[in-house]
Structure 1
Amino acid sequence: MHCGYLSFLHIIIRKVTILFRTGITSLFGIEHPIIQGGLQELGKETLVTAVSNAGALGLLTAGSYENKQEFRTAIRNVRKQTDKPFGANITIGIRQPMDRFVEAVIEEEVPIVFTSGQNPEPYMEKLKRAGIIVTHVVPTVRFAKKAEIIGCDAVVVVGYECGGHPGLDDISSLTLIQRAVQEVSIPVIAAGGFSTGKSLVAALALGAQGIQMGTRFLLAKENPLNEKVKKHLLHLNETDTVIVKRSLQKPMRVMKTNTALQVVAMEGNDCSFEELYPYISGKSYKQLIHNGDIDAGVISLGQTIGLINEIQSVEKIIASVINEAKIQLHTLHKACPII
């Protein structure tokens, strides 16, 4: 009977492995359907290399680098440390012109580019002509459809729970991802609330073909985030985030701090962008992430922080997500057998 159970379990695990080979793993040439989020100032070589070496997709965040040459050097550094696929994340039209970074990924033959922020259409011809796989990050079904029309190969759909920019419609991942899958034919990657194996299974059940994790990788050992901030994050739960910048029509979910709450209060009093800027600027953000000054600025943080209770290596993070997903599928099979 024991041998029969082991045989049965082997069949289940084998089927689970097949389930995790999705359109996204095929498109990017990766082992696991997990993408690292584009973490401003944190999506750098050490983290990216670790994610890719662990079988997921690491993304270098272009906006973390001062100039084109610095970014090209980072790309080369990653390539020296991994022979696995990796990509670049380029946020368009937010902080600085991105033309030179687009040129860098083309010149360095980076195979995969994720774009976010404004419409990537002005860069699509150059990127596609270079044979680059382009994925755009969107907060609505309407923008997902537009991404497909302009030639994107895949789309990341970001729900309300996410850290960073959830868009103006406040629609949760549970509904938004299913709607996007109904409306587009390109692969959908789920983002916003995904940090565990159970959430990976949920994303696949919703019709997505992978997940993007940002908040989970904040607590990776390889993430250059200040250790004081990491330890602070360990004590937070799902209620410890807040939306700022609504008055600027650019809502952003961040860690709930005295500064973040002050920004919310100032917005309620119709303060101008110039008045808000010292609290939401890149300079104050760098003080937070590099110096560990929790109240210096604001940092993107998803509601899924409440599910993260340990600082781990990237390898352990990805292994735990995959193993939990397998266990969860086995549990579901026992509850509702299908073979």
Structure 2
Amino acid sequence: MIRTAITDLFNIKYPIIQGGLQGLGTSELVGSVSEAGALGLITAGSYRNKFEMKRDIENVRNKTDNPFGVNIAIGIRRPMDEFVEGVIEAGVPIVFTSGNNPQKYMSKFKENHITVVHVAPNLRFAKKAEEIGCDAVVINGYEGGGHPGPEDHSSLILLQEIVPKLSIPVIAAGGFATGKSLLAALSLGASAIQMGTRFLFSEESILHPVIKEELLHVDISDTTIVKKSIKKHNRVWSTDNAQRLQVIESNGGTLEDILPFINGETYKELIYKGNKNSGIMSLGQSVGLVQKIEPVKQIVDSIVEVCEKQLERLNQTSSEKGLN
């Protein structure tokens, strides 16, 4: 059994967190992740309003009695005030925030005994999250899908820089998809890993089967960064569409030129209808480490098993060499 500050904080069995997945972080996946002993996160931006989100929160509760939370991206796409209200009304005890500073919501969260975790791309933002009262931070390396921040710093370097300088637990994100990477994160002082891309390949993920199957043939080089021109760096699947967007940005395209590539409707065409030539999809470099589609429980169990076996092997090696 792997016990860490994060497993204790969330009262979960394993130090594995499901990342926010726009349009895909819904009850089908979230309930399965939490039931498997990890922490599932409802992605608030997947819903049209708080009422839809609250209904799906109840669906999660019908799937599992285990802890789960809600991921709220602040200021990325639209105002999230009503979703903050929805979390409080639904009595969800864990919230992950990303994007802009969550300080304006902190008093509401704390008054309602909600554990708050913020996603940060560097030391400055991680320290700020600690100062405003966050209970933990996610450190998001450049390898991660979604919004890793503007600096090309890897998880390996960021964790070694940041962990010693914080007094709150750190969750490692960006490039984590295997048991070996879980062990590496723990070795670097993190208390858990967060995975988004890895869970796309779960049977419970509602990503269109055609897209899932195609992603099995994608390697670690098949992601790229877009939206640099609007200072919203986004690691995505390097499709023809994403490459066309990069050309438009490099040629000085306006926000009006960019919007057709990043709006919600084209994204839905991609993830729900399997239209690869519509929209763009966040994707981490760890996509190249996944070879098959599996049930969530099998994914979680395999990661933990490999981590424990690797730790046992390292302990045995150090004992044989007299390093203990």
Partners of 2:315 and 2:246 in 1: CA distance: 46
Equivalent of 2:250 in 258, 265, 268: 268
* Structure 2 partner of 1:232: 214
CA distance in 2, matches of 1:235, 1:334: 36
Q: Quick one: percent identity of the two aligned structures?
A: 55
How many angstroms does 1:166 deviate by? Answer: 1.1
Q: CA deviation at 1:95?
A: 1.3
Q: Distance in 2 between matches of 1:204 and 1:90?
A: 26
* RMSD of aligned Cα (Å): 0.9
* C-alpha distance in 1 between matches for 2:51 and 2:197: 28
Deviations 1:62-100 (A, max 9, x none): 110111111111111111221100000011111111111
Structure 1 residue ranges without an equivalent (≥5) = 1-16
- 2:60 equivalent in structure 1: 78
CA distance in 2, matches of 1:332, 1:265: 47
Q: Which has the larger radius of gyration?
A: 1
Structure 2 equivalent of residue 119 of structure 1: 101
Question: Which residue identity lines up with residue 96 of structure 2 in the other structure?
Answer: F
Residue 256 of structure 1: which of 227, 235, 238 is its match? 238
Alignment partner, residue 30 of structure 1: 12
- Partner residue of 2:134 out of 152, 155, 159: 152
1:97-112, aligned counterparts within 5 Å?
97-112=79-94
Select which of 12, 19, 25 maps to 1:43: 25
CA deviations on 1:156-183 (whole Å, 9 max, x unpaired) are 0000100011111110000111111022
Equivalence for 1:328 = 310
Residues 182-230 of structure 1 show CA distances to partners (whole Å, capped at 9, x for unaligned) of: 2211000000000000000000011000000000000010000000000
> How many equivalent pairs are there?
321
Aligned ranges 1:161-200 → 2 under 5 Å:
161-200=143-182
Asked if 1:318 is matched to 2:300, the reply is yes
* TM-score of the aligned structures, taking structure 2 as reference length: 0.98
Which sections of structure 2, spanning at least 5 residues, go unmatched? none
Using structure 1 for the length normalisation, give the TM-score. 0.93
Q: AA paired with 2:150?
A: L
| Structure 1 residue 334, shift from structure 2 partner | 2.8
Deviations 1:273-313 (A, max 9, x none): 11011011111111000010112111011001111000000
Q: Distance in 2 between matches of 1:321 and 1:148?
A: 29
Q: Does 1:142 align with 2:124?
A: yes
Q: In the alignment, which residue of structure 2 is the partner of 1:61?
A: 43
The runs of at least 4 consecutive aligned structure 1 residues that moved more than 4 Å come to: none
> What is the CA–CA distance in structure 2 between the aligned matches of 1:132 and 1:164, rounded to whole Å?
25
